[in-house]
């Protein structure tokens, strides 16, 4: 990559959408795509290995949710610019994304011109949010920042426990979860026991249903 070009990592599990983004960036001549990731864990590895200027990140990623990815990479690379690309229009996802440190939030059904504008905006140091959701979402988000919210069962889970809920919801067994997260099977079992106690859930099927309701797992038609 030359000094003049902006290094980009694209984290998106749909290959066709990734190719569209690559083509858009290629047309400008100002970007170099350093790495492409198809799941959340790969996204973190790409950022660690290539130290890009910009991360284009889908929130609904396999293996690790985009919100967890944002938290991880921002801890290590606080100056990394992150633009979330997502189908989620609800206030919860948007508020959480900005809380974790995204610089922009762009809906996937946006026209290519809007995506280009979003990229340009965050690279210039400005926050970006898709115009269609900006009025109601930003007003609600700014108001809610000042309020102390009552803890829910979900809020009692640790970061690691939330990651495990997602992986269980995606159908991974304890050994596979241990391998993915580089921890022991006994540690996974302990986390699962704590999760079920906190959530008052007593089997994997119920935990999977919970993960779907939380938006951690997308059911494919």
What's the pLDDT tens digit per position in 20-67?
889 888 887 889 999 999 999 999 999 999 999 999 999 988 889 889
0.75 surpassed by pTM: no
What is the fold, at CATH topology level, of the domain defined by 6-144? Rossmann fold (3.40.50)
How confident is the model at residue 149, as a pLDDT?
A: 42
- H helices of the chain, in order, are 15-28, 40-50, 66-76, 91-100, 112-123, 134-144, 159-169, 174-181, 185-199, 204-213
Q: Give me the DSSP letters along 91-112.
A: HHHHHHHHHHT-SEEEETTS-H
- What mean pLDDT is reported for the chain? 86
Q: Are 117 and 136 a contacting pair, CB within 8 Å? A: no
Determine the average pLDDT of the residues in 154-161: 88
What's the pLDDT tens digit per position in 38-48?
999 999 999 99
Is it the case that residue 190 has pLDDT exceeding 90?
yes
What's the pLDDT tens digit per position in 87-109?
888 777 888 888 889 999 999 88
How confident is the model at residue 187, as a pLDDT?
A: 96
> Do the domains spanning 6-144 and 154-213 agree at the CATH topology level?
no
Element (H, E) at 81: strand 81-86
What's the pLDDT tens digit per position in 106-124?
998 878 888 889 999 999 9
Position 192 confidence tier, pLDDT thresholds 50, 70, 90: very high
What is the C-alpha end-to-end distance of the chain, expressed in Å? 40
**Which CATH number applies to 154-213?**
1.10.10.10
Sequence spans of domains, the chain: 6-144, 154-213
């Amino acid at each position: 990559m030359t000094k003049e070009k902006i290094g980009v990592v694209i984290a998106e599990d749909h290959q066709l959408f990734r190719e569209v983004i690559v083509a858009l960036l290629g047309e400008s001549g100002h970007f170099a795509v350093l790495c492409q990731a198809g799941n959340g864990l790969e996204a973190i590895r790409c950022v660690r290995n290539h130290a890009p200027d910009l991360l284009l990140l889908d929130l609904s990623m396999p293996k690790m949710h985009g919100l967890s990815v944002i938290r991880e990479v921002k801890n290590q690379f606080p100056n990394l610019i992150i633009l979330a690309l997502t189908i989620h229009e609800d206030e919860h996802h948007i508020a959480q994304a900005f809380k974790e440190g995204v610089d922009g939030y762009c809906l996937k059904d946006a026209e290519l011109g809007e995506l280009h504008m979003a990229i340009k905006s965050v690279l210039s140091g400005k926050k970006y949010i898709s115009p269609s959701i900006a009025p109601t979402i930003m007003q609600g988000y700014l108001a809610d920042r000042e309020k102390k919210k009552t803890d829910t069962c979900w809020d009692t889970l640790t970061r690691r426990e939330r990651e495990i809920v997602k992986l269980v919801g995606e159908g991974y067994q304890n050994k596979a979860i241990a391998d993915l997260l580089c921890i022991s099977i006994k540690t996974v079992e302990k986390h699962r026991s704590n999760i079920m106690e906190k959530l008052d859930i007593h089997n994997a099927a119920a935990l999977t249903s919970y993960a779907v309701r939380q938006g951690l797992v997308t059911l494919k038609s």
